[in-house]
């Protein structure tokens, strides 16, 4: 459900509402009001119905004899040693793994004076592209950074801190790998090195200053990174803890693990992807030290893991923060806990959570475009694809699927060495067909008919990771990307808030150059196999907006209605982004003053030209091997600007901005028709109103 905010509750009380629609559910207002008095408004959340999660997309799952789609992970150390001694391929892998860990052990040491920064700060100031990390120490062994599009980036304190967090993350992972080598080979030097590093962090943990008082993190800049790395610390100690002196293990527990647990339990008492990581990390510490009280709090607490999954995963099995990247990120948080639970004999305690999480892993498959590209709601960095082979592989030990097992047999790493996938029948991986469907609990819809596939995102559920994109859409034509959401860049880049999260970056209506203000779940007005309509009753203060997308006889028709009242001001407009090339258009003239008097986002467009239109504009766009006639209709006189705008860095794309000449108009209807040329397309509606079931 959407988190309720103070203005939502006030509005419902003012209208004397007895109940309120929360996603697909109508709930008593009194219940929600009582809940709001017990927690911050953003924490009020209702569990999404998810009946019989074990039976969702069964053709992709691998059930055991008891009918469970999940399994308890195991470790076969004797079998692993036998494989590494008799199988040439495993011998070669072990040699490379040993060499990599030995090289790191010989070269690298962490330092107390190093302060870790934010991983998102490692971006080029030029265009937001990611910087390339190397092992060389900035200021000592290397004197500049670089990215794919920027060969010389100055080393600043912020970028040095980004290098430190990246180093420390790798260093802790090397501790885990050294511990694994010790258990496999019984070579004490690997255990001694890992234990020595553990001593270093335990002895010095409190010497690092708290970097963010609201989160309490010391070793890293934020508590999320503390959690992701605590998982690796815990795994390291699980592997070597029985082979060090008891007093040393107790020292690690009291000086490092318990202080870390206090940090993670101090914040994010909400339904959130970071909270999932924190609860999972604490639960693994509880398993490590056999602390049942700590386990119960992490799993069954008010914002424990069970509630995170019940209230954070929608009935469509999508994470409620809407970014499909966070769908996978939450799976990555859960998998290490599920594996650890299996190794500690506690997998059955999390049976329901594993069944639901497996659907979280699978759900993006039913949203994929024909080339495997995923739509991009909320602030995902870059554009994802489905299936994601790496993610399915990571989950095979606890959430086995044909997709995960089919790739696991050919891979060599610690997972496949200790828990061979050969024990499972891989089967054939047949991807589910993408059909028209309404994902109302997730505020999304998919249309697929004839040559078109359209993804529509009409509202938000929570503020976290939301951006000004309500009523945005993406579309593919005959398997070719026609218009997409490029996602965002690293949060540390000025382009993140300055452009990528703004309305101008999306296919949305604009008022005074701005898109949606705040967040709102929106209203689904109608859904059919070839048509979807939704409204944003509070698009901006004093502004209502509505969009209808329809596939009609091979054409995609987009109708946008905007109505405003005082005090809303500013010209009404529409942004449209194209992956194709404009081949034919009316005469455009250069407009060097395009960004003047408009929001800062307009300053990121380049090579902008403008033309004047009366009621209609026609363009011809070439996308893939298809030409498309684009016809834009609007009331009266309007101007259209064409320019180059930021796409996924360092790429750029063709974009249009349409704006009515009369800034006083209180309402407008924009109709855009995309009509493929040079091909005849059959009208073949496809629909699945039952979502995944």
Name the residue with tokens 């600007």.
641
137 vs 143: CA distance, rounded Å: 9
Say if CB 335 and CB 395 are below 8 A apart: yes
pLDDT at 545: 98
Q: Mapping DSSP to helix (H, G, I), strand (E, B) and coil, where does residue 265 land?
A: helix
Q: Quick one: which of 248, 229, 221 has its CA closest to 176?
A: 229
Q: Would you state the structure tokens that stand for residue 73, as one six-digit string?
A: 């992970």
Say if CB 501 and CB 484 are below 8 A apart: no
Of the listed ranges 209-213, 297-301, 437-441, the least confidently predicted one is: 209-213
Whether the pLDDT of residue 476 is over 90: the answer is yes
Q: What is the pLDDT of residues 362-376, one digit of tens each?
A: 999 999 999 999 999
Residue 447 CB burial class (10 angstroms; 0-12, 13-18, ≥19): buried
pTM of the model: 0.90
Name the residue with higher pLDDT: 504 or 152: 504
604 vs 583: CA distance, rounded Å: 23
Whether the pLDDT of residue 391 is over 90: the answer is yes
27 vs 145: CA distance, rounded Å: 54
Name the residue with higher pLDDT: 35 or 329: 329
> What is the pLDDT confidence band of residue 686, given thresholds at 50, 70 and 90?
very low
At 122, give phi and psi (nearest 5°): -80, 65
Whether the pLDDT of residue 8 is over 60: the answer is no
pLDDT at 12: 35
186-202 core/surface letters (b: 16 or more CB in 10 A; e: else): eeeebbebbbebbbebb
Q: Would you state the structure tokens that stand for residue 507, as one six-digit string?
A: 């296919």
> What is the pLDDT confidence band of residue 426, given thresholds at 50, 70 and 90?
low
pLDDT at 468: 96
Whether the pLDDT of residue 414 is over 70: the answer is yes
Give the chain's largest Cα–Cα span.
83
Say if CB 153 and CB 145 are below 8 A apart: yes
Query: What is the mean predicted confidence (pLDDT) over 475-486?
Result: 96
* Topology (CATH level 3) of domain 437-685: Beta-galactosidase; Chain A, domain 5 (2.70.98)
In DSSP terms, which residues pair with 491 in a beta bridge?
none
pLDDT at 45: 64
Whether the pLDDT of residue 403 is over 80: the answer is yes
pLDDT at 567: 79
pLDDT at 29: 37
CA-based angle 311:26:275, to the nearest 5?
Answer: 15
Whether the pLDDT of residue 22 is over 50: the answer is no
pLDDT at 585: 79
Whether the pLDDT of residue 568 is over 60: the answer is yes
> What is the pLDDT confidence band of residue 24, given thresholds at 50, 70 and 90?
very low
Query: What is the mean predicted confidence (pLDDT) over 241-266?
Result: 96
Say if CB 471 and CB 509 are below 8 A apart: yes
Residue 302 CB burial class (10 angstroms; 0-12, 13-18, ≥19): exposed
pLDDT at 688: 47
Q: Quick one: which of 119, 233, 207 has its CA closest to 167?
A: 119
Whether the pLDDT of residue 611 is over 70: the answer is yes
Query: What is the mean predicted confidence (pLDDT) over 158-164?
Result: 95
How many other β-carbons are positioned within 10 Å of the β-carbon of residue 494?
Answer: 13
Q: What is the pLDDT of residues 286-343, one digit of tens each?
A: 999 999 999 999 999 999 999 999 999 999 999 999 999 999 999 999 999 999 999 9
Whether the pLDDT of residue 260 is over 50: the answer is yes
> What is the pLDDT confidence band of residue 424, given thresholds at 50, 70 and 90?
low
242: Cβ contacts below 8 Å, ≥ 6 apart: none
Percent of the chain with pLDDT over 70: 90
Query: What is the mean predicted confidence (pLDDT) over 544-565?
Result: 97
Percent of the chain with pLDDT over 90: 82
Q: What 3 state SS string does 538-566 have?
A: EEECCEEEEEEEEEECCEEEEEEEEEECC
Of the listed ranges 1-15, 88-102, 238-252, 361-375, the least confidently predicted one is: 1-15
Say if CB 131 and CB 153 are below 8 A apart: yes
Say if CB 432 and CB 420 are below 8 A apart: no
495: Cβ contacts below 8 Å, ≥ 6 apart: 127, 128, 489, 604, 646
Average predicted confidence (pLDDT) for the chain: 90
30: Cβ contacts below 8 Å, ≥ 6 apart: none
> What is the pLDDT confidence band of residue 400, given thresholds at 50, 70 and 90?
very high
How many other β-carbons are positioned within 10 Å of the β-carbon of residue 44?
Answer: 26
Q: Structural domain boundaries of the chain? A: 6-46, 437-685
């Amino acid at each position: 459900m959407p988190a309720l905010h103070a203005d939502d509750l006030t509005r419902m009380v003012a209208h004397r509402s007895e109940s309120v629609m929360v996603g697909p559910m109508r709930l008593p207002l009194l219940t929600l009001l009582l809940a709001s008095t017990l927690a911050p408004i953003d924490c009020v959340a209702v569990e999404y119905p998810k009946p019989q999660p074990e039976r969702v997309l069964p053709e992709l799952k691998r059930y055991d004899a008891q009918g469970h789609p999940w399994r308890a992970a195991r470790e076969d150390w004797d079998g692993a040693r036998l494989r590494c001694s008799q199988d040439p391929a495993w011998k070669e892998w072990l040699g490379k793994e040993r060499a990599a860990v030995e090289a790191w052990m010989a070269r690298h040491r962490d330092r107390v004076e190093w302060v870790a920064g934010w991983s998102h700060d490692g971006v080029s100031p030029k265009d937001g592209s990611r910087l390339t990390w190397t092992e060389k120490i900035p200021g000592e062994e290397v004197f500049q950074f670089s990215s794919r599009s920027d060969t010389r980036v100055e080393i600043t304190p912020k970028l040095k801190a980004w290098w430190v967090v990246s180093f420390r993350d790798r260093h802790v992972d090397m501790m885990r790998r050294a511990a694994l080598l010790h258990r496999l080979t019984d070579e004490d030097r690997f255990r001694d090195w890992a234990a020595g590093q553990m001593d270093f962090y335990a002895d010095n943990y409190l010497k690092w200053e708290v970097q963010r008082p609201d989160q309490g993190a010391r070793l890293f800049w934020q508590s999320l990174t503390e959690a992701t790395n605590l998982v690796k610390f815990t795994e390291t100690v699980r592997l070597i803890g029985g082979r060090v002196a008891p007093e040393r293990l107790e020292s690690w527990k009291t000086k490092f693990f318990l202080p870390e647990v206090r940090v993670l339990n101090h914040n994010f008492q909400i339904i959130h992807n970071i909270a999932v990581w924190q609860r999972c990390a604490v639960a693994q510490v509880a398993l490590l030290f056999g602390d049942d009280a700590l386990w119960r709090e992490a799993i069954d607490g008010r914002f424990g893991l069970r509630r995170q999954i019940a209230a954070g995963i929608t009935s469509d099995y999508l994470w409620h923060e809407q970014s499909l990247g966070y769908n996978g990120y939450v799976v990555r948080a859960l998998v290490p806990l599920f594996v650890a639970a299996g190794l500690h004999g506690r997998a059955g305690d999390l049976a329901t959570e594993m069944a639901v999480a497996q659907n979280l892993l699978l759900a993006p498959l039913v949203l994929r475009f024909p080339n495997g590209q995923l739509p991009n709601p909320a602030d995902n960095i870059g554009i994802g694809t489905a299936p994601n082979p790496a993610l399915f592989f990571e989950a095979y030990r606890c959430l086995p699927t044909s997709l995960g097992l089919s790739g696991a047999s050919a891979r060599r790493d610690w997972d496949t060495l200790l828990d061979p996938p050969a024990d499972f029948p891989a089967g054939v991986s047949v991807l589910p067909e993408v059909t028209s469907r309404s994902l109302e609990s997730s505020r999304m819809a998919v249309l697929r008919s004839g040559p078109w596939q359209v993804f529509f995102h009409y509202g938000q559920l929570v503020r976290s990771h939301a951006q000004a994109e309500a009523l945005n859409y993406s579309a593919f034509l005959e398997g070719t990307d026609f218009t997409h959401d490029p996602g965002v860049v690293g949060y540390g880049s000025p382009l993140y808030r300055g452009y990528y999260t703004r309305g101008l970056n999306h296919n949305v209506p604009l008022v005074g150059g701005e898109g949606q203000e705040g967040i709102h779940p929106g209203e689904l007005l109608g859904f059919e196999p070839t048509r979807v309509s939704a409204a944003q009753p509070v698009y901006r203060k004093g502004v209502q907006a509505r969009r209808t997308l329809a596939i009609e006889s091979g054409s995609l028709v987009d109708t946008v209605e905007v109505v405003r009242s005082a005090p809303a001001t500013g010209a009404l407009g529409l942004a449209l982004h194209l992956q194709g090339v404009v081949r034919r258009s009316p005469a455009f003239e250069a407009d060097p003053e395009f960004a003047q008097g408009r929001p800062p986002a307009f300053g990121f467009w380049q090579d902008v030209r403008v033309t004047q239109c009366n009621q209609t504009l026609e363009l011809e766009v070439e996308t893939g091997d298809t030409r498309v006639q684009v016809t834009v209709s609007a009331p009266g006189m309007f101007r259209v600007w064409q320019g180059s705008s930021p796409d996924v860095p360092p790429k750029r794309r063709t974009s249009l901005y349409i704006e009515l000449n009369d800034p006083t108009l209180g309402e407008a209807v924009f109709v855009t028709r995309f009509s493929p040329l040079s091909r005849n397309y059959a009208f073949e509606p496809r629909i699945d109103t039952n979502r995944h079931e």
